């Protein structure tokens, strides 16, 4: 992890290996010790564009001034967009960020700062870290992050940094697993890897259901999806015990480690990124890691539904009717709508879990579920469906506070006809091809008891970061869910 600190004394990190990021209007720049003529030239250039200099910048090795409006621009993320190419191949191992532009007493400014910190701390992970290239050029990496601020903001900024560090550790743990190729990242690999990764945390433990247990315990939908693959399915139950007593919350993640579409076969272009169809499960794992890092005084359970959706002699077929864990019989009329099948069983399973004879105070599921949500909301917003207005409102508010936003979409009985089946209790896809994302959410709602608040997050657009024609795991919506937990604790 990148070492980080908060200081009101710029000299702590001012050296030839340090890169200063600031703004022309900063009240701290006068203390930086830069040559007056250089500073004036940079301030002039930064009034309209990014001003960058790596020569004659004593006492720093490099200085970048960004237009002041970049620090407040949202939702277009000009700040991160400007920093990303600057920091992708840096020549300085230490980064000093002037934070005097933001008032830590302002919720809007805190949101901008938190988003920036999470972005910077996530620079510690790169695809090359997976070790899959036989030869790699070892670029300079940022190893030290210093936040430079005014003295009266230091305490509150340190709090934001602690929270951002824990969130980023969880995000990077999730991203590493999600980015692995699916020939390596099988259901069995995931449970084995997570067992190793949680070992250092005394507050985390897990249970695993193998294929025979899945079948015997009645998780018929998860079994149906996974039975066509040579790599059998798994159900993983992760537990975080941040305290001994009190309520607990449950999180459910779709973990399709590769999705061919089954007998409803996808086209080649649509299949290329399907190793990422397990980002929901990876992010549930990452969320519990983040909670353990920050030592949150809460109790959480994560349920990871892991399977490959493959073609084989035993693969499920369109028209099959399968009994779910909840007891509902499901007509599978589209084998490429497998995510909602494994989620349905996992949601029902989570709803039956108890601690101290208490059921979950809420269940939140997350999944790269439908391409339709991307058509509706694009790549920046996560789709949200819930039958509980309070939970929906809290998630929406938390998303705004960390710039990891959701957009609420309707969910009510008007969509019941979308999942009606002539032969079974429900079918897994609508026959009219309408309201695809909402139809999926309504299908899932049938598997959560009415007395447990439930929310569904479709992260098909936000689970990946897309740049220069490539996709990598983003770790979203872990920031949103961590902020939701923090907000509940404060209240």
pLDDT band of residue 12 (cuts 50, 70, 90) is low
Is 340 catalytic? The answer is yes
List strand residue ranges (DSSP E) for 242-372, in order.
Answer: 248-259, 299-309, 320-323, 329-332, 363-367
State pTM to two decimals: 0.96
The whole-number pLDDT of residue 468 equals: 74
Among 340, 394, 403, 476, the active-site one is: 340
The whole-number pLDDT of residue 102 equals: 96
Indicate where the chain has its CATH 3.40.220.10 domain(s): 3-152
Element housing 372 (H / E) = helix 372-377
The whole-number pLDDT of residue 8 equals: 87
Q: Is the pLDDT reported for residue 13 higher than 70? A: no
Among 215, 266, 400, 446, the active-site one is: 266
Q: What number of CA atoms fall less than 13 Å from residue 314's CA on the CB side?
A: 11
Q: Tell me which residue of 436, 231, 455, 428 sits closest to 333, measured CA to CA.
A: 428
- The 10 Å Cβ neighbour count of residue 270 is 14
In angstroms, rounded to a whole number, what is the distance separating the alpha carbons of residues 105 and 409? 32
The whole-number pLDDT of residue 140 equals: 85
In angstroms, rounded to a whole number, what is the distance separating the alpha carbons of residues 61 and 14? 8
In angstroms, rounded to a whole number, what is the distance separating the alpha carbons of residues 452 and 363? 7
Q: Is the pLDDT reported for residue 413 higher than 90? A: yes
- Determine contact, residues 309/343, Cβ cutoff 8 Å: no
Query: What's the angle, vertex CA 125, arms to CA 120 and CA 126, rounded to 5?
Result: 115
Q: Which fold has domain 3-152?
A: 3.40.220
CATH H-level superfamily of 169-490: Zn peptidases (3.40.630.10)
In angstroms, rounded to a whole number, what is the distance separating the alpha carbons of residues 93 and 115? 21
In angstroms, rounded to a whole number, what is the distance separating the alpha carbons of residues 177 and 302? 16
Report pLDDT digits (tens) over 227-284: 999 999 999 999 999 999 999 999 999 999 999 999 999 998 889 999 999 999 999 9
In angstroms, rounded to a whole number, what is the distance separating the alpha carbons of residues 406 and 62? 37
Indicate where the chain has its CATH 3.40.630.10 domain(s): 169-490
User: Looking at residues 46-69, what average pLDDT do you find?
Assistant: 94
User: Looking at residues 74-88, what average pLDDT do you find?
Assistant: 88
The whole-number pLDDT of residue 212 equals: 97
Q: Is the pLDDT reported for residue 58 higher than 80? A: yes
Please provide the average confidence, as pLDDT, over all residues in the chain.
95
Is 184 catalytic? The answer is no
Q: Is the pLDDT reported for residue 50 higher than 80? A: yes
């Amino acid at each position: 992890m990148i070492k980080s600190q908060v200081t009101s004394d710029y000299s702590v990190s001012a050296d030839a290996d340090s890169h200063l990021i600031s703004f022309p209007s900063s009240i701290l720049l006068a203390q930086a010790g830069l040559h007056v003529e250089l500073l004036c030239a940079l301030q002039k250039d930064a009034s309209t564009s990014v001003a960058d200099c790596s020569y004659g910048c004593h006492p720093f090795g490099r200085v970048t001034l960004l237009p002041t409006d970049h620090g407040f621009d949202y939702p277009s993320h000009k700040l991160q967009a400007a920093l990303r190419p600057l920091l992708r191949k840096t020549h300085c191992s230490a980064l000093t960020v002037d934070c005097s532009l933001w008032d830590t007493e302002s919720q809007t400014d805190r949101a901008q700062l938190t988003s920036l910190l999470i972005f910077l701390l996530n620079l510690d992970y790169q695809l090359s870290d997976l070790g899959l290239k036989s030869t790699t050029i070892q670029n300079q990496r940022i190893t030290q992050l210093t936040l430079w601020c005014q003295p009266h903001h230091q305490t509150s900024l340190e709090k934001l940094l602690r929270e951002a560090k824990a969130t980023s550790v969880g995000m990077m743990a999730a991203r590493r697993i999600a980015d692995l190729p699916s020939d390596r990242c099988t259901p069995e690999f995931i449970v084995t890897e997570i067992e190793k990764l949680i070992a250092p945390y005394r507050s985390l433990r897990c249970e695993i259901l193998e294929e025979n247990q899945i079948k015997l315990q009645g998780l018929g939908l998860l079994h149906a999806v996974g039975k066509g693959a040579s790599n059998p399915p798994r159900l993983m139950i992760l537990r975080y015990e941040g305290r001994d007593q009190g309520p607990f919350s449950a999180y459910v993640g779709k973990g399709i480690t590769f999705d061919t579409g089954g007998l409803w076969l996808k086209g080649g272009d649509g299949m290329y990124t399907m190793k990422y169809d397990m980002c929901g499960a990876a992010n549930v794992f990452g969320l519990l890691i983040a909670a353990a890092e920050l030592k949150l005084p809460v109790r959480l359970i994560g349920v990871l539904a892991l399977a490959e959706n493959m073609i084989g002699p035993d693969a499920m077929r369109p028209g099959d009717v399968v009994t779910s864990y909840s007891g509902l019989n499901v007509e599978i009329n589209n084998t490429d709508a497998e995510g909602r099948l494994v989620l349905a069983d996992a949601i029902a399973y989570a709803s039956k879990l108890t601690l101290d004879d208490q059921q979950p105070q809420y269940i939140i599921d997350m999944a790269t579920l439908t391409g339709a949500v991307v058509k509706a909301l694009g790549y920046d917003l996560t789709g949200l469906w819930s039958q509980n207005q309070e939970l929906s409102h809290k998630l929406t508010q938390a998303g705004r506070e960390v710039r990891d936003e959701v957009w609420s979409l309707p969910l009510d009985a008007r969509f019941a006809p979308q999942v009606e089946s002539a032969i079974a209790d429900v079918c897994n896809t609508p026959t009219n091809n309408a309201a695809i994302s909402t139809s999926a959410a309504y299908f899932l709602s049938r598997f959560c008891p009415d007395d447990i608040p439930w929310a569904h997050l479709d992260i098909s657009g936000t689970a990946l970061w897309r740049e220069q024609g490539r996709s990598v795991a983003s770790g979203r919506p872990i920031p949103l869910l961590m902020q939701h937990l923090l907000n509940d604790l404060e209240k």
